[in-house]
Amino acid sequence: MVIIPVLIIIVIVVAVVFASYLFVATGGGPKPYKAWKNQDIKTALKEAEKCLAKNPHNADALAFIGDYQFQNGDWENAYKTYETLTEIPLPGEEIDGAQINLRAAICATNLNMLDGAFKYIVVAHSMSPSNFEITYNIGNIEFLRKNYEKAVMYLQQAYSMNPEYAPAVRLLGHAYFKLKRVKEAMTYIRKSIELAPKDKETLFTLAECYLEAGQKEQSERIYAHLRPDPVWGAEACLRSGLINVEYHQDDKAIADFEIGIKHKDIKPDIATELHYQLGSAYLRVQKIAEAISHLQIVQQSIQGYKDTDTLVAKYKEMNANKNMQIFIMAPASEFMALCRKIVLSYFPKAKVKITKTQITSNDWADIVAEVDTPKWSDVVMFRFIRTQGAIGEMVLRDFQSHLKDVKAGKGICMGVGVFSDEAKRFTETRLIDLIEKERVLPILKSLDSIKQPSTPPPPDPTSHSLLPI
């Protein structure tokens, strides 16, 4: 029977070939992946490295070394290892292909290689679509790729699998917020804070949700709570301050902005806006010097930022002239007192008696005075205009009608702005003198050196009708 020996020879040859294949594939017959995991780590790593030296595609050795690199956060080397594993056949069931692709995706994510991460996570998901870790990570990667609709879809699936997994709950809330779906965002963000109360970024996002929803008091309370935080404190101060500005609470806003600029390592854009808002708030409370110092910091940071250059040019001059500050910004009573000083000193060597005063909506003040000089005597009406912009014809037409009412022989209209061409043409044939900013500044500067004659106390400056003194 010749057939039997032949069969025996064939079986032996196949066995030898198969054994040789296994020997080469395992790099010289090492222990399998599972056995290495039960060994001393140093010994196992040496054995695995020896195997790779003989066969760079030894799956067991790659899987073991990759696992070690992954567990120790060596993302770059782990990524290379898992990348290789995804390209070779995997022996047996001990090495899970879905797990290999998942880990390759996680390594790529940590290396900010989002295209690579997406490629591997899609393969992992196709292999194991009901795996929680894979589903969460594909949602995370889609979030990082700014595909928020897809992120929500996968994260909702992950949430349904494990509603107590804090990272999934957190990311789901943030994804909804990115989509401006504030109601859904708040639901998951609140739960995320319950699961991880020390997560300041999510707390900040909750404040943003309240702000988007128009619940500004709730958002301001959270921002105020976050003001000391070294990471989110500066931005929280800015947000809190802006809310207080909107509520016309400049003192509180200033406190917020001042706390904000004291933080270290502030993002440049946040720092610039904090200084700008602080400078603007100081202007509103008439602290010109403080305002200018912060606005100049903005100028040094970003050229042409908003209206900073205009504000500095405008208020720097004002800062050098206290009377200019009073003329433009002071309360009505101080403004009227300054205007009276101008009237009493306007005509040298004249006897001046103020007879009537009026303030109109804090925009301008009218003063009527009897003036007696060595050469002439007459009733003169003054109008002091506070605006720094263009002064138009309509203001002068109104002034002309008042001149007639009080039987004034002359009118003097004084402002820190510029009169329009129409306004100048209107006064060409009328007894009205126009005094613009360039002529007003020397008058204001000279007031402090002039000794004023004693006069009765001024009337109530809030009056809207001309009243006899």
Architecture of the domain delimited by 17-261: Alpha Horseshoe (1.25)
Q: Could you tell me the two tokens for 157?
A: 């699936």
Rounded mean pLDDT, 182-191: 96
Per mean pLDDT, which range of 44-48, 130-134, 430-434 is the poorest? Answer: 44-48
pLDDT greater than 70 at residue 467? no
230-253 per-position pLDDT tens digit: 999 999 999 999 999 999 999 999
Give dist(CA 365, CA 466) in Å, integer. 10
Q: Domain ranges for the chain, please list them.
A: 17-261, 325-468
- Per the prediction, the chain carries an average pLDDT of 87
Task: Specify burial of residue 265 (Cβ count, 10 A radius: 0-12, 13-18, 19+).
Answer: exposed
Of the candidates 144, 104, 145, the one whose C-alpha atom is nearest the C-alpha of residue 121 is 104
312-324 per-position pLDDT tens digit: 988 887 787 889 8
73-95 per-position pLDDT tens digit: 999 999 999 999 999 888 766 78
CATH code for residues 325-468: 3.40.1350
Three-class SS of residue 452? Answer: coil
Overall pTM surpassing 0.75 (yes/no): no
pLDDT greater than 60 at residue 229? yes
258-304 per-position pLDDT tens digit: 999 999 999 999 999 999 999 999 999 989 999 999 999 999 999 99
Helix and strand counts by DSSP (H, E) for the chain: 23, 8
Reported confidence tier of residue 38, pLDDT bands at 50, 70, 90: low
Asked if the domains 17-261 and 325-468 are classified in one and the same CATH topology, the answer is: no
pLDDT greater than 50 at residue 117? yes
Written as one string, the DSSP assignment of 265-313 is S--HHHHHHHHHHHHHHHHHTT-HHHHHHHHHHHHHHSTT-TTHHHHHH
pLDDT greater than 70 at residue 155? yes
pLDDT greater than 50 at residue 418? yes
pLDDT greater than 60 at residue 389? yes
Rounded mean pLDDT, 197-222: 95
Strand order of the β-sheet with 377-385 is 432-435, 410-415, 377-385, 364-372, 351-360, 467-468
